Amino acid sequence: MTFSTTLSQPHKLILDGATGTELNRRGVDTGLPLWSANALMNDRDARILQQIHEDYLRAGADIITTNTFRTHRRALAPRPNADRALELTRRAVDIVRAAIAKIPSDKERFVAGSISTLEDCYRPDLVPPDDELRAEHSERIHHLLECGVDLILIETINTIREAVIMEELATITSMPVVVSFVCDREGKILSGETLTDAASQLLPLGICAIGVNCGPTPNLAKPLAELQAACGKDFPLIAYGNIGYADEKVGWVNTDLENPKAYCELASYWPAKIVGGCCGTTPEHIAQLKLVIK
Ligand SMILES: [Zn+2]
């Protein structure tokens, strides 16, 4: 069954939890600018990455996100790493496929090719001009296509402009596309734009789900309600919150503010078809989600 067909079934789908912060918890260097891409640079860390994917599969995740958040040319620069974008993207996708092969299941699991903003995902002021966005995102999307992902997950996006360009490029591939924004406390996209505007521009382009991620978990209910009103109650939404906060030097600080039970208590009210965990969440959060999300 394809991802799009599965999405049309009545049950909810569980997305995996955080990879970057989980790598950090398990002793992998996730220093900026490479962040989670550091784990693809040597065999020891790549094995830890695979174990994380396996733990999320054991916890019940239906969708596993590739560790490709920062495997693009700009994040890998300067050379020679900048020329390794395809090689590292392929390694990340192969590691997810290996994890899925190792943890058998009678249900279908999907590989979500993750791409985010070209620059810092929390800095809408840094979004590059359109021509740079087109050229660089086109390369990333084609790398994911070539490596054989099941869907494109455009995540932690902070402006409508970058989201629209990514979506236009992704739909050319005919792969299912999911778009997720990062919002402020008021439920606006970090650029100050509204999710209602985002939905009105993105839905006609053919996305199969839209939503919010990487905001503090208690803050997600408000933007999800806005999206539900904008998209209609049957349009699939995606939601995955964070626990902790971003830090310029270390990337992420885990606070464990919401334990798995507290996280899932909040998540159980989200009107979302796809629910998972963002930075700071763990396989325990996903295992708990599996118990409460139907
Ligand atoms: Zn996050």
Distance (Å) from CA 217 to ligand 1 centroid:
11
In this structure, is residue 222 part of a structural domain? Answer: yes
Q: At what angle do helices 195-202 and 221-231 cross, to 10 degrees?
A: 40
Distance (Å) from CA 241 to ligand 1 centroid:
7
Angle at 23 between CA 237 and CA 238, to 5 degrees: 0
In this structure, is residue 2 part of a structural domain? Answer: no
294 has a pLDDT exceeding 90: no
> For position 131, which CATH number holds?
3.20.20.330
Distance (Å) from CA 182 to ligand 1 centroid:
9
Predicted pLDDT of residue 250: 75
- Tens digits of per-residue pLDDT, 33-70? 889 999 999 999 999 999 999 999 999 999 999 999 99
Q: In terms of residue numbers, what domain contains 121? A: 11-292
In this structure, is residue 5 part of a structural domain? Answer: no
In this structure, is residue 80 part of a structural domain? Answer: yes
Distance (Å) from CA 249 to ligand 1 centroid:
16
What's the CA gap between 172 and 175, in Å, rounded? 8
Predicted pLDDT of residue 80: 81
Predicted pLDDT of residue 248: 79
In this structure, is residue 6 part of a structural domain? Answer: no
151 has a pLDDT exceeding 80: yes
Report the pLDDT averaged over residues 125-139: 98
Q: Choose between 78 and 103: higher pLDDT.
A: 103
In this structure, is residue 252 part of a structural domain? Answer: yes
Q: Choose between 251 and 224: higher pLDDT.
A: 224
Distance (Å) from CA 156 to ligand 1 centroid:
7
CB neighbours of residue 225 within 10 Å: 14
Indicate the Cα dihedral angle 60, 62, 67, 72, nearest 10°.
-170
Predicted pLDDT of residue 202: 98
In this structure, is residue 1 part of a structural domain? Answer: no
Q: 56 near 48, Cβ under 8 Å?
A: no
Predicted pLDDT of residue 247: 82
Percent of the chain with pLDDT over 90: 90
Whole-number mean pLDDT of the chain?
95
Predicted pLDDT of residue 79: 75
245 has a pLDDT exceeding 90: no
Distance (Å) from CA 260 to ligand 1 centroid:
16
- The stretches of 174-282 forming alpha helices (DSSP H) are 195-202, 221-231, 260-267
Predicted pLDDT of residue 256: 77
In this structure, is residue 221 part of a structural domain? Answer: yes
Distance (Å) from CA 3 to ligand 1 centroid:
23
Distance (Å) from CA 17 to ligand 1 centroid:
9
Domain count, the chain: 1
Query: Model's pTM, two decimal places?
Result: 0.96
